[in-house]
Structure 1
Amino acid sequence: MVKNDINNHQKDDSIESEYNEEKSSEEALTPTIDVAKMYLREIGHSPLLTAKEEVDLSRKAQKGDAKARRKMIESNLRLVVNIAKHYFNSGMDFLDLIEEGNLGLMRAVEKFDPELGFRFSTYATRWIRQMIERAIMNQGRTVRLPVHVAQELQSYRKLARELAKTLDRQPTTNDLTKFVNKSADEIQRVMSLDNNTVSIDAPLFGDDNNASFADFMADDSNIDPVQQIQDDAVICLVDQWLSKLGDLPREVIARRFGLCGYEKSTLKEISKAVKVNCEKVRQIQNFGLRKLRNIVSNSGISREVVG
């Protein structure tokens, strides 16, 4: 009886200890969450730019107009947040992800050429992602490796995962040599540089969804240049088509289907964002889709090209 009381008391202490640890953890996270909410509220006051405003401001920014540059940055901060959300479980603090993304946004403002004919968000998205992914590689790893080595390591692991599906076994380095211009020894040397090789492919979410840290790393060394050019061309085409819809239909379609840096949203979420009732949003969406079909049809480009 006494033994049971002691065990129950120890169990209660353990539960209380776990509760206190969990409470402390929540309290530690609260400042970060509060700051993030404040930041999101603050940037929500900056309206999205029209295509004409982007061109005008970009031209001024290129001539050294600091006010125009600041306006372009402030009006696209929500784009950074939307992109950063995709890397939320990468091991970096969310505000750090946003900060890195903002650096990419600033770089995009400097490099953007408004005469190319596509929207700024299309161009900026690549810079934002690049800066975030490089930061994850540099800061998010338990073992520090040069960026180019981390990219090469990631490309081998990605290839190994794909081969495992077709071979029904774990591929050897000799298997990998058939697909990359490297010897088995060179591949093994790179893969052995990671002293904690399990961690890079371990699930990030603690469940069975198979998402790993490697999935969030840039894979520039394994990109087919021809495919990359085709992808860029399609993105530019879609952006050009959307720009013909008008600002509100463009935003509704972009939000609905996760284009231009937006996340896929429900009609209710879009209604709240654009301050129009759900039925009106649905009508705008249907109007936009009908117009897009006509635009695509008149362009002479086949569905297979767009994918």
Structure 2
Amino acid sequence: MTASSTALTLRDPWALVPSLGNLDAYISAVNRLPMLTPEEESTYARRLREHGDLDAAGRLVMSHLRLVVSISRQYLGYGLPQGDLIQEGNVGLMKAVKRFDPDQGVRLVSYAMHWIKAEIHEYILKNWRMVKLATTKAQRKLFFNLRSMKQAFKGDASAADSHRASLSAAEIERVAEELNVKPAEVVEMETRMAGGDVALEPSGSDDGEEAFAPIAYLADDRDEPTRVIESRRRDHLAGDGLLQALEVLDARSRRIVEERWLKVNDDASGGMTLHELAAEYGVSAERIRQIEVAAMKKMRKAMEAVAA
């Protein structure tokens, strides 16, 4: 680093870090920032603790940004953007700087490591899946160790067993013993990590007739208020409403409607036909049909009045 850039950094600790741009430029910039000597670190930490000096806090943070970048590389296997991991790690670094006590005899790099990892862990747990996989201490321990231990077991396995994805009973006991958790918790976490997210809604590209997402069968709308009201109204119309609509008809029209639409015999043959009714009343089948159509119109108006 040149003398001019060093002087610029001393005046403004954020000057060398690009505000926008690609990740490589950021990493290159933070790796050029000067490290603090133990004396400088102690001085800045005391200025922050005793006087709330934000410039001192900035210098402590800036000198350890490369630590966050280094730690973030350890978590690239989870498939999350390194830029996001660095961002969360920087939050942990700032928390560490705020709580750092130089009189404890520990360098900030050692103290901050815990805070940086804690923030990155929390980010991974929240974003690796839509549903958070680990909430208890034992689950978190398993989440961040189970995959690496499974890889170790796979490396130790024979060629015949190398295709095996799940843990054997002996391996489950070994993981539980090493991590001081219950075997049942190992099995549960392995099952959680082996599963994947399932979209409730169908994807935009899958718009064919066969598209059938879980939302179609998971939703239970039987107690949805509007459906309850509709169901009650439909039951009322099918019962009392229908009886009131039949009351507006004369005897002949009512009997025609009942025989044609409302009567079901034991043999499932239904009511009388147009010709049978025509023979009974001494008119043509077409006349019976006309009476039926007129009766249905009257009933429809009556039922609309009931529904209103």
Q: Which has the larger radius of gyration?
A: 2
Whether the TM-score (by the shorter chain) exceeds 0.5 is no
Alignment TM class, shorter chain as reference: 0.3 to 0.5
Larger fraction in helix = 1
TM-score, normalised to structure 1's length? 0.44
TM-score normalised to structure 2 length: 0.44
